[in-house]
Amino acid sequence: MKQETKILIEKIKSANSILLTAHKNPDGDALCSVLALYQLIYLNYGKDSVCVYDGNVPESFRYISLRGRAHYFEQVDLSQPFDLAVLMDYGTTRNIGGTRGALDSAKFLVEIDHHKNDEKIGNLCIDDETAAATTCLIYDLMIDAGWEYDDKVLNLLAIGILTDTGNFKYAKDGRSLRIMAELVDKGVDIQRQLELLSHKPRKTIQTEARVVADAEFYYHNRLVIATVDSAAYKNLDGRGETALSLLGQIKGIEYIVLLKQQKENQIGVSLRSKFLPVNKIAEKLGGGGHICASGAVVNDSLENVKQRVIELFKGA
Ligand SMILES: [Mn+2]
């Protein structure tokens, strides 16, 4: 057993209170990592951890196993320091949000992450940049520790991989597929798990369809920019994945940009590409992420951010 696994087990065993969380506005990997670890700790040590998030959990995650265990952080008493806190899939401290205080006051902080991160905050870091999803790391941990698991754990681990790899589109090596092969052999039904995620509100899909219809094309139609104004933003559920996916299916498109007016002068920028890297452009906007899928939040007007994005893609 790896040394870090041994330390984590010791900390779980001795803890009277455990906090589990991930990045703000959790995506499938963040939420499922938290819930899978919750269930593994419960099954193997009989302990109930507290699972919290900041921001919003998409409606389409409503039917994910154990979804009800994850609470908005302000609805939970976090005033007493936890013996153990585990922060998963966070990438950078900017993504933590309102749970930061509880993490800082915890007696021992473990981080489990697959993002590139130069400012790690864990007392113990179970990090691996080469993993396709944080649930891959939870899977490795589960096997290394010899933990018992159930169907809920397996399904949660599978959803984390499916959502973070875009159903394997972004899998850069065979590891996530090998883990999925193990999960399927143990009983995971991929089709059923994908269907479980198809519960977006009607207004979301209709808003995303309008956003696609109004998108603008630049640089010989290699770049497409779609915008969501603040009124339409309220209808989104998640990051606008449907719009990003539809635009990416257009012949000749190389780069897909979705600008979301979260507040008057706060624009969420989602960047996707088919082959060429976009993470450098995200970094120039103060964000970051993966090579073909990254993003940023820019405090400026929608029009100014759009002009900046067009400028940054010049010559790309
Ligand atoms: Mn992730």
Q: pLDDT for 13-24, tens place per residue? A: 999 999 999 999
> How far apart are the CA of 138 and the centre of ligand 1, in A?
11
pTM of the model: 0.88
Of 241, 216, 237, 238, nearest to 226 by C-alpha is: 216
Q: What is the pLDDT of residues 186-198, one digit of tens each?
A: 999 999 999 998 8
Res. 244: pLDDT tops 80: yes
Indicate whether 180 and 294 sit together in one domain.
no
Confidence category of residue 290, pLDDT binned at 50, 70, 90? confident
Residues 171 and 209 in one domain: no
Distance of CA 161 from the midpoint of ligand 1 (Å): 8
* Domain end marker among 177, 196, 215: 196
* CA 220 / ligand 1 centre spacing (Å): 33
Range of the domain at 150: 3-196
Q: What is the mean pLDDT of residues 46-52?
A: 98
Task: Give the DSSP per-residue string, 247-281.
Answer: HHTSTT--EEEEEEEEETTEEEEEEEESSS--HHH
* Residue 102: partners with Cβ closer than 8 Å, 6 or more residues away: 19, 21, 52, 73, 78, 82, 85
CA–centroid distance, residue 235 to ligand 1 (Å)? 24
The phi-psi region of residue 240 (left if phi > 0; otherwise alpha if psi is between -120 and 50; otherwise beta) is left
What integer pLDDT is reported at residue 152 of this predicted model?
Answer: 98
Do 192 and 215 share a domain, yes or no? no
Clarify whether residues 18 and 113 are in a common domain: yes
Q: How far is the CA of 313 from the centre of ligand 1 (A)?
A: 26
User: Are residues 60 and 109 located together in one domain of the fold?
Assistant: yes
**pLDDT mean over 213-218:** 98
Look at residue 275 in the predicted model and tell me its pLDDT: 83
> What separation in Å is there between the alpha carbon of 165 and the centre of ligand 1?
9
Do 163 and 52 share a structural domain?
Answer: yes
Look at residues 196, 230, 264 and tell me which one is the last residue of a structural domain.
196
pLDDT tens digits along 69-85: 999 999 999 999 999 99
- How far, in Å, is the centroid of ligand 1 from the Cα of 199? 21
Q: How far is the CA of 134 from the centre of ligand 1 (A)?
A: 5
Predicted confidence (pLDDT) at residue 169 exceeds the cutoff of 90: no
Q: Is the pLDDT of residue 308 over 90?
A: yes
Q: Tell me: pLDDT of 172 over 80.
A: no
Boundary of a domain, candidates 172, 196, 220 = 196
Q: Above pLDDT 90, what percent of the chain?
A: 90
Centre of ligand 1 to C-alpha 30, Å, is 6
| Cα 214 to ligand 1 centroid, rounded to whole Å | 30
Q: Does 154 share its domain with 207?
A: no
Q: Rounded mean pLDDT of the chain?
A: 96
Give me ligand 1 centre to Cα 301, in Å.
Answer: 29
Q: Residue 239 — pLDDT band, cuts 50, 70, 90?
A: confident
Contacts of 207 (CB under 8 A, 6+ apart): 228, 232, 235, 236
Residue-wise pLDDT for 78-131, tens only, equals 999 999 999 999 999 989 999 999 999 999 999 999 998 888 999 999 999 999
pLDDT at 291: 86
Distant-in-sequence, close-in-space partners of 108: CB < 8 Å, separation ≥ 6: 11, 15, 83, 84, 85, 123, 124
Ligand 1 centroid, distance to 24 Cα (angstroms) = 12
Q: Do residues 63 and 196 lie in contact, with contact meaning Cβ atoms separated by under 8 Å?
A: yes
